[in-house]
Homo-oligomer: A and B are copies of this chain.
Amino acid sequence: MPAAIVLVDHGSRRSRANDSLEQVAEWVREAAPGRIVLAAHMELAPPSVADAVDACAARGATEVVVVPYFLAPGRHSTEDIPRLAREAAERHPGLAVRVTAPLGPDAKLAGLVLERADP
């Protein structure tokens, strides 16, 4: 079983931003059929990182990779989300939880910028 993915954004009081993350999670599921892929929010809206890690464990995951849905490194992706992931992992002995670099910056984003500019 490949590592379950928990995609984490900041979280918003506006449902539109939260729905947007869920949409991306759905695209990841379509790209990786059968893989556990869950969306979670750092704050302001459920599900939390702990909720998502619990759900991965309940579905039988033995490894969870937390991907910060952010475009630049910062306190959220380098401190807050790793701390939340660590706290969530402590509740599940035997579950390996790691946190990756945020989505950006990445050279592949240049293509997306050009697509927006010249649709």
CA distance A97 to B20 in the complex (A): 26
* A15-45 near B? 1/0 per residue, CB < 8 Å: 0110011011001101110000000000000
Chain B residues whose CB sits within 8 angstroms of the CB of A70 once the complex forms: 71
Known: A24-B105, A24-B110. A117 touches B74 (CB 8 A): no
Contact B20 A72 (CB under 8 A): yes
Shortest Cβ-Cβ A-B pairs, 8 listed: A27-B110, A20-B72, A100-B116, A17-B72, A28-B110, A20-B105, A31-B110, A65-B117
* Given A7-B113, A20-B71, A100-B119, 10 further pairs, Cβ under 8 A: A3-B117, A16-B74, A20-B73, A20-B105, A21-B105, A27-B107, A32-B114, A67-B113, A69-B113, A108-B112
Q: Which residues of A come within 8 Å of B, CB atoms?
A: 2-3, 5, 7, 9, 12, 14, 16-17, 20-21, 23-24, 27-28, 30-32, 65, 67, 69-74, 100-101, 103-114, 116-119
